[in-house]
Amino acid sequence: MLQIEHISKTYRTGDLVQRALDDVSLCLRDSEFVAILGPSGSGKTTLLNVIGGLDRYDSGALIINGVSTEQYRDRDWDSYRNHSIGFVFQSYNLIPHQSILANVELALTISGIPRSERRRRAADALARVGLGNQIHKRPSQLSGGQMQRVAIARALVNDPDILLADEPTGALDTETSVQVMDLLREVAKDRLVVMVTHNPELAEQYATRIVRLRDGKITDDSDPFTVASSLPVEHRSLGRASMSFLTAISLSFNNLRTKLGRTLLTAFAGSIGIIGIAMILSLSTGVQNYIQSIEEDTLKDYPLEITDSSINFASMYTQQDSGERSAPEGVVEEWQTVSNLFTRVSKNDLAGLRSYLESDECSVYDYVQTIEYNYNLVPQIYTDRDGEIRQVNPDHSFAALGFTTNDSMGSLFSSFSSTDTFRPMPDDERLYLEQYELKAGRWPQRYDECAVVLTSTGHVADITLYVLGLKDPKELDTLVQSFAAGEDSEIESVPGQYSYDDFLGLEFKLVHSSDYYTYDEDYNVWTDHSEDPAYPSFSRSATA
């Protein structure tokens, strides 16, 4: 017995509110053929969907054999549809690539019925609707009436308590419609059949009860049925539909097999998409990593430097008046460049910056590899080759040209010609271990050890060879003096080749800055000898 008590259902689309069912109450017997009639939009299909659990009602109660559905969850509704309801649709909804036997079996497959039992029950259901000798045909090989019979067999195979039919004869001719109605009338002898139709003649001829709807309300009931309101109502689950894992796998492989061409094309297209996405991701990741490595290498070669003072050189090239106002006719106005340059010099608090960098509040170490401090101390390095002392850092090779590395022009020239060969190594060994390959010897471990850096192709600049003493420094002096005098050099040098052993074990002398000063007791002053190349005393220097 099915009880529908004060059911209401409303559809909302924006501001539009459509009331499909308006306080509908209806009690249906266990075995009767109920036809629901009414014009389009009267709520017939909505009522059928509510009974079948395809739609949720907004208010009211739906009671099946004394069991309330008020507290049903999605799993309970699935079980209700699978065990208690059979659906017959106007469009048949058959699976075209499967036989009609497999179509009927599908409802039992979802219920977890064993394979042999499924086949037997499906074949019996098809025999009951007159298709027992055509079980291996496909839906496309059947007529419309035969396909509707298959749909009825599929609805009956689970032996449901209620059979719902939505316009079962809507797509059939008159003769076939009569055959289907005869079949539904036979089915209604042992279960409840609820049919929605627009054909009042068929309803009056076959149905045992006719219910008419209009605007979501029942306007007429040919054979009303009421139950005592005191009947007990319980809340319980109807169980759950279950399909075994192996059955699900079998169905999946069967679908793949029956649609092999489409499956292969889909797999091929999907693989192209996946490969394309993988290639794009790998390419973008590679480019991103490459850009990051270039940025890191660039910053290692040209690190960010913060000096104790900064000058805004842009002020030398920009007009003081940002609006570029023209001077009055006949008047020449001053463009302040030098004054702007020197008045905009700012001093940086490097001591405060270092205190911050070394504090716990600083998070810049998450974005940098190392931070180093430079105090502009230039090491005084000399060579002693066969008793001849020569300063190699800072370099004085180009003193004959009128400048040295101690003045601004000399420093500028040295930055381009690399005459100052010695450079301090980074404190963080990762900066050179990741970028350079050790060819011979070992990495420096003490402050007085050096490493020779070659190019990626294994070359070294000739100025470095002069400094290291592997080439005669007098040859360089001759070249510089000839150039300074405007004379052609007569020295013809052939590029030399050296082994790694030629570089290993070379020694230099480091003179501390304090060793350049001597105390004059007569005048009580300290004398600086840093500009006197002949002064250095190697007895007070360290070996590098």
Q: What is the pLDDT along the chain (544 residues), one digit of tens a residue?
A: 889 999 999 988 888 888 899 999 999 998 899 999 999 889 999 999 999 988 989 999 898 888 888 888 888 888 888 888 888 888 888 888 888 998 888 878 777 777 788 889 899 989 988 888 888 899 989 988 889 889 899 888 888 889 999 888 887 888 888 888 999 999 899 899 999 988 888 899 999 999 999 999 999 999 998 876 655 566 566 555 566 667 677 767 777 777 777 778 888 899 999 999 999 999 999 999 999 888 877 777 778 888 887 776 666 565 555 456 677 888 888 877 777 777 777 788 888 999 999 898 888 888 887 888 888 778 888 888 777 888 888 877 777 666 555 544 444 444 444 467 888 888 888 778 878 899 999 999 888 889 999 988 999 988 888 888 888 888 888 888 888 888 877 766 678 899 999 999 898 888 888 888 888 888 889 988 877 766 766 544 444 4
CATH for 2-258, options being 3.40.50.150, 3.40.50.300, 3.30.70.60, 3.40.640.10: 3.40.50.300
Q: Please state whether the peptide bond connecting residue 394 to the residue before it is cis, i.e. omega within 30 degrees of 0.
A: yes
* Coil, helix or strand at residue 425: coil
Report the predicted TM-score, pTM, of the whole model to 2 decimal places.
0.50
Sketch the domain layout of the chain as residue ranges: 2-258, 259-302, 309-323+332-366, 380-543
**Both tokens of residue 496?**
């030399």
Dihedral angle over CA of 254, 255, 260, 264, nearest 10: -120
Say if CB 126 and CB 132 are below 8 A apart.
yes
Dihedral angle over CA of 83, 86, 91, 96, nearest 10: 50
Residues 6 or more apart whose CB falls under 8 angstroms from that of 314 comprise none
CA separation, residue 256 to residues 111, 152, 270, 283, 543 (Å): 22, 27, 15, 34, 81
